[in-house]
Structure 1
Amino acid sequence: MSHSFPKLHNALWPGVVGKGDGPDQEPPLSLDTMLNLTAAAQRGGKKFDGVDLFLFLPHTDPSASEEDLRRMADDIQGRGLSVGSLVAPVWPGTVGDSAMGDAASRKAFLSAIETACRIGSALSAHGVRRRGVIRVDSAEFGVDKWRSDPRGNTKKIAETFQEAARIAAGHGERLAAEGEICWAGMHSWKDMLDLLEAVAMPDSFGFQADLAHTYLFLLGYNAPEHALLSEGYDDEEFYAAYEQMVAKLRPWTIDIHIAQNDGNVFGAGSHDKTGKHCRADDPNGKLDIVRCASYWLQGAADRGIEHICWDGCMFPNAVLQNPQTWDAILDVMIQVQDNCGWD
């Protein structure tokens, strides 16, 4: 059955994350290239409704003027697309710095939130941005430093996130933290839950669930003490563990990434190793995407979720530039919408 919601968005940061000019990196794909690929995809007469944006170069200049942002918004809208969630440039080397760093680092992190809110407000005022949140993480690669003082470092991250959430709320925005095994303090389902409960601001700070990353939560890749599955599991064991994990994190979930994972860990360039995103039709994919998405989407409308977004982060450029990649992605997104959607 066809539904109006959730709207179907494509993430544009796969053209940037893990790309660069290093010896092990491919060149980034421009904003225009990613927009063109998104707008061209179709399946059964349906197309993507919108895109989620990465707020850093080479896609979006964090210091872009209001005129520049209006021009970008016109370009996106002219392709029949809207804008949803935004990725704040919170990492060292961008606008921000570590949320568990010293006072200067944490101040830079908060500056990145201000930047994202300014851009979000401009896009909303234009009319191209109709839905979505601002995505953050702890901006602390790896977990070794965090492990030196887990309780103290989680407290520090939580305090930074609380201040960030207050800034966002002042702009009418909500923040969503993406749990991923490479981010300190967010690298397992239990540590992510502890952090969310420490922030304790559910109206303005929640969780962004990514199917590929949360799959590795189950296996306890960077936190074996929190593993819910062992290698060699069967379907019954998988879904029992999946339901247990989702039940803990779903009440906090305000943004959802649809994705596939082949069970491997991958990193490129400066991006530390994390869950490997795969094509929607990858024969080695571990997830029944539609069934797994249904667990996260229970009660989604009540939590203010209006769209879902495909994340194919760190796909090779040859895969990203193949139109068949996006047609297959759109096909599975439509299946999720038909299975879990609402009007």
Structure 2
Amino acid sequence: MNENNYPKLHNATWPGIVGKGPDSEPPIPFDTMLEMTAAAEVDGVKFDGIDIGLLDPHINIDSTDDDIKRLVDKVSGYDLEIGSLVAPIWAGSAMGSKEERATFVEMVRKACHFGQRLRELGIRPSGIVRIDSSSSPQAWDADPEGNSKIIAQTFREACDVAADFGEKLAAEGEICWGGMQSWKTMLETLEAVDRPNMGFQADMAHTLLYTLGYNREQDRILPPDFDWSDRKTLEEALKTITKALRPWTIDFHVAQNDGTVFGSGSHDKTGRHCQALDPNGKLDVVHDAGYWLRDENGVLTKAFKHICWDGCMFPNSVMNNQQTWNDILGTMIKVRNEHGWRE
């Protein structure tokens, strides 16, 4: 039996919302996501916690302190902790008007207050507040240099607000966000923000797409018409992006991807999240997680205390199947056995 107890293993609840809605399938309730997470078990090991989106209809960003206490009581009743939070910043673009950017920063402030209360109530020992640019690559492309400067300024203001609450912000590396749509633009954005509480959220399904240059062809690493059986070339590409972005990484999602893009509901196309055991998955999930969890010399970074599974835009039939979550947990356990530690 492996004795590693870190990093803690979390499941994300926002896949019950992301890609759902009137033009897709109905959202899966927060309570259902919580119950499925708590019920998952593999060889006596269970999930340690959840990461949550502060998004309707799951969680109201304007929750009162009493509402937050009720949430804590509910989650702790399942013997789970809470980790990273997603700030609902999409009402205001980080490169938009003065008013839009003020709205963006205000949403970060509300999320950080929420996170601080969760810490004070003892249920949140680790985690960040996740943000993105809330802008499309197409809009960003109209003026890359100018728009990047505005995004960096908005992120700096958000970081300064977050610091007042003792929070760190992590920018989501996903191809559907302007100024963040490639490994190079993401790195440039992080360097431009230059705040000690600004970091990167790596998601294995999304960062794989960075190697293919979706939405930023000039930053492609793998050749066009790449042969996925060429594992050596894929590993070299993964080493390139992880070497650049690992030093910034403060939040990490274990995930699988089949090398394609996908969108549903109102969500733009991005890296397709596949089921943990999908035979079409292009990643060796357990091995490739090590590129993010270990440095170039193979030494554990221990840069974050928990890791999370993200499986957005799965059909509801898949998400309502308990075996899905057992398979995910089983994969997460293998990642911890291979790249974890004991405290």
Q: Same-fold call, TM > 0.5?
A: yes
Q: For 1:217 and 1:244, how far apart are their aligned partners in 2?
A: 10
Which residue does 2:184 correspond to in 1? Answer: 190
Deviation readout 1:133-154 (Å, 9 max, x if unpaired): 00000011x2111111101101
Which residue does 2:28 correspond to in 1? Answer: 29
Deviation at residue 342 of structure 1 after TM alignment: 1.2
Which residue does 1:48 correspond to in 2? Answer: 47
1:245 partnered with 2:245: no
Are the aligned partners of 2:174 and 2:270 in contact in 1 as well (CA < 8 Å)? yes
Task: Map residues 188-227 of structure 1 onto 2, 5 A cutoff.
Answer: 188-201=182-195, 203-227=196-220
Which residue does 1:255 correspond to in 2? Answer: 251
Are the aligned partners of 2:294 and 2:301 in contact in 1 as well (CA < 8 Å)? no
Are the aligned partners of 2:204 and 2:256 in contact in 1 as well (CA < 8 Å)? yes
Which residue does 1:67 correspond to in 2? Answer: 66
Which residue does 1:282 correspond to in 2? Answer: 278
Are the aligned partners of 1:254 and 1:303 in contact in 2 as well (CA < 8 Å)? no
Which residue does 2:144 correspond to in 1? Answer: 150
Q: For 2:44 and 2:302, how far apart are their aligned partners in 1?
A: 29
Which residue does 2:169 correspond to in 1? Answer: 175
Are the aligned partners of 1:56 and 1:89 in contact in 2 as well (CA < 8 Å)? yes
Q: For 1:265 and 1:139, how far apart are their aligned partners in 2?
A: 19
Deviation at residue 200 of structure 1 after TM alignment: 1.2
Give the direction of change, closer, same or farther, for the CA distance of 1:109–1:301 in structure 2 (3 Å limit).
farther
Deviation at residue 333 of structure 1 after TM alignment: 0.1
Unpaired runs of 5+ residues, structure 1, are: none
Are the aligned partners of 2:202 and 2:249 in contact in 1 as well (CA < 8 Å)? yes
Moved segments of 4+, more than 6 Å: none
Q: For 1:336 and 1:208, how far apart are their aligned partners in 2?
A: 17
- TM-score, normalised with respect to structure 1: 0.96
Unpaired runs of 5+ residues, structure 2, are: none
Q: For 1:101 and 1:303, how far apart are their aligned partners in 2?
A: 36
Deviation readout 1:91-110 (Å, 9 max, x if unpaired): 02xxxx10000100000000
2:231 pairs, out of 231, 235, 254, with: 235
Amino acid at match of 1:5: Y
Deviation readout 1:175-207 (Å, 9 max, x if unpaired): 000110100000000000010111111x20000
1:130 partnered with 2:92: no
- TM-score, normalised with respect to structure 2: 0.96
Which residue does 2:288 correspond to in 1? Answer: 292
Amino acid at match of 1:159: Q
Q: For 2:251 and 2:235, how far apart are their aligned partners in 1?
A: 21
Amino acid at match of 1:272: D
